[in-house]
Structure 1
Amino acid sequence: MRLSLLTASVLASVLSLSACKRSEAPTPAPTSTGTPAVAASPADDNLNAVAWVQTSIEYGAITTQTFRAAADHLDIALKEKNWDALVPEERGNAATGLKPAVIMDVDETVLDNSPYQARLIRDGSEYDEVSWDQWVAEKKAKPLPGVVDFTRAAAAKGVTILYISNRAVHLKEATLANLREAGLPVADDSVFLGLGTTLEGCEQNGSEKDCRRKLAGQNYRVLMQFGDQMGDFVQVIANTRDGRRQLLDEYADWFGERWWMLPNPTYGSWEPALFNNDWAQPREARRQAKRDALDYAP
């Protein structure tokens, strides 16, 4: 049906006004120079990493499939008498006849501390011992997807779960409480070997875990190790890109059988390896070193 000229004119005006209204958007208030003000949000290298850990389904899928695959290998490890997940340099005694155990790192391997990382992003700050201790004291870290099922299944088969962590020994009580609350098996207080645990005759090198792994090996046959950094499995003598690559090349066959790596894009020893392990540098200098390490190949 043909519209009258008047009706068509009115309709056109209404549509024109409606289109203008839909396209309107708030305009930032001008600054003293006359240009619109833009809200500045400082860049944070950890934003995408923490958002991925907390919101992506992919993160949970990776951790779940890792623990399920490890569970499929557990019976094989139990039956094979010579199976041991400690490197020869850290196995100071025969493993045959010892009780079976699995070594687990804690942070980002068993417990998810991404809320702490999120707070650092929110506050524009970086890790420090005071804020970290306060977070641990809250005992609110949740278990990684899949870890409770794996550790409970292992414990049901007589496997002791050992927690070798770089949480300091004074955080032991809060950590064990958090682990129990999260549903993880804790046989007794001795299964936590935090930073500060000593072994006579073994010299502690920074936060390396080799002495504590040796201590575990004195009483247990270690079937598997779980971690989110190379140092959770073997001593990293040279924390450089080349040094770390050499370790991976040497022990590549151990992953997926004796060693099980969990993803952690939020922090780790891989990061200082990019700026000569010098945390004293200004934040921007460290960020620039990371930019310089990127591969821009066409």
Structure 2
Amino acid sequence: MIRFAPVALAAALSLAGCAHTPKATAPMPVPASSASASAPAPAGPAADDNLNAVAWSQNASEHDFIYLQTYRDATEKLLKAKKDPTWDALPKADRAAHPSLKGLKPAVILDIDETVLDNSPYQARLVRSGGEFDEAAWAAWCKEAIARPLPGALEFTKFAADHGVAVFYISNRAKDLDEATLANLRSAGFPVADKSSFLGLGTFVEGCEQAGSEKGCRRQLVGKDHRVLMQFGDQIGDFTDVYGNNAEGRAKAMAPYTAWIGERWFVLPNPTYGAWESALFDNDYGLPRSGRRAKKIESLRTN
């Protein structure tokens, strides 16, 4: 259907009237519906690049199916991995700290955010307000302790615990969020043997110097007494340390372990945030939002 602007429509109707009568006629009044169509849109937050990502995470059935598919696949493979005394999912650098697998108890390691707990409501609040991530608002969300389990995560972790496999959660949530995080995991129904099941940022590991927020030291702590059967996460850093967060560094970190994807390492989707995003603008959060967006647009391939 062709749409006419209100003025052009009025003029067209006026000329049509002249064809039927020699007398000049007054311009046709603009209908109220046309006038309202040209009114300015109500003010609101600026368009947000994260809108589609958050909307997909919360509303797409495909999102839930990917999680179910991943956790169901892992469940089917878990007991086979447990029976194989040589099976271990720690990267070589982490296992080197405690190389012998003999006598180690079985365990799995899972990230928390966007791996077992759904934080999309926090992202949705940012989209609605037009704001960006900040530590205070994030901490406040975590302390609400209302994040829901992601599809399949609860069933998998319960299955693991029921079959004698220890469940560890390694997260980069700040140390002061430990209690709130444990409360959220427990209220959501996840198996938590005790406080040592959760290893947050700042966990001290004797003899290991943590590099930034890398999780290697904490994985080594689990590996001291456990043979790690599987790892789960939404970031490369959930599986192995990444010492250069750029395309080359990320590829180098994963190159030795691509055969482990879907066998020992289970990667989950997170289009809303992560190291993949900051790598696109050289990890420079000092850039204004527009500058970061420009860098991301530059990264797009058109052929």
Instruction: Give the TM bin, normalised by the shorter chain.
Output: 0.7 to 0.9
- The 3-state SS of whatever aligns with 1:149 is helix
Amino acid at match of 2:228: V
Amino acid at match of 1:59: H
Summarize deviations over 1:200-229 as a string: whole Å, max 9, x none. Answer: 222211111011111111121111000000
Q: Which of these residues, 247, 264, 267, is aligned with residue 261 of structure 1?
A: 267
Size of the alignment, in residue pairs? 270
* Deviation, structure 1 residue 39: 4.3
Kindly provide the amino acid, as one letter, of the partner of residue 40 in structure 2: A
Q: What secondary structure does 2:205 align onto?
A: coil
Query: What is the identity percentage for the equivalent residue pairs of Structure 1 and Structure 2?
Result: 56
Q: Distance in 2 between matches of 1:247 and 1:28?
A: 57
2:197 and 2:33 map into 1 onto residues whose CA distance is 60
1:27 aligns with 2:35: yes
When normalised by structure 1's length, the TM-score is 0.87
2:64 aligned residue: 60
Q: Secondary structure at the match of 1:163?
A: strand
**Matched position secondary structure for 2:178:** helix
Per-residue deviation, 1:95: 2.1
One-letter amino acid of the structure 1 residue matched with residue 85 of structure 2: K
**2:199 aligned residue:** 193
Deviations 1:78-104 (A, max 9, x none): 000010000111011112211111000
The question of whether the paired residues in 1 share the 8 Å contact of 2:173 and 2:200 is answered with yes
Identify the match of residue 117 of structure 2 among 98, 111, 130.
111
Matched letter for residue 117 of structure 1: Q
Answering whether residue 252 of structure 2 is matched by residue 246 of structure 1, we say: yes
Aligned to 2:40: 37
| Aligned with 2:86 (options 73, 76, 82) | 82
Partner of 2:106: 100
**Of 71, 75, 81, the match for 1:71:** 75
Q: Secondary structure at the match of 1:271?
A: helix
Letter in 1 for 2:272: T
Matched residues in 1 for 2:236 and 2:34: separation?
50
SS of the equivalent of 1:100 reads strand
SS at match of 2:204: coil
TM-score scaled by length of structure 2: 0.86
The DSSP-based 3-state class of the residue aligned with 1:178 is: helix
Q: Which secondary structure does the structure 2 equivalent of 1:221 belong to? A: strand
Matching residue of 1:159 = 165
Relative to structure 1, the CA distance from residue 37 to residue 159 in structure 2 (aligned partners, 3 Å threshold; closer, same or farther) is same
Output aligned runs, 1:163-178, within 5 Å: 163-178=169-184
Shift of 1:24: 7.9
Read off the aligned partner of 1:37 and give its amino acid letter.
P
SS in 2 for 1:106: coil
> Is the counterpart of residue 120 in structure 1 residue 126 in structure 2?
yes
2-side partners of 1:122 and 1:248: how far apart? Answer: 36
Name the residue aligned to 1:270: 276
Q: Which runs of 5+ in 2 are unaligned?
A: 1-30
Shift of residue 178, structure 1, vs aligned partner: 0.5
| Contact 2:147–2:184 (CA under 8 A) maintained in structure 1 | yes
1:47 paired with 2:51, answer yes
Displacement of 1:45 in angstroms is: 1.2
Q: What secondary structure sits across from 1:177 in the alignment?
A: helix
| Pairing partner for 1:134 from 116, 131, 140 | 140
> Aligned equivalents of 1:113 and 1:272: distance in 2?
19
- Uncovered stretches (5+) of structure 1, i.e. residues with no partner: 1-22, 31-35
Out of 215, 237, 243, the position equivalent to 1:237 is 243
Q: CA deviation at 1:69?
A: 0.2
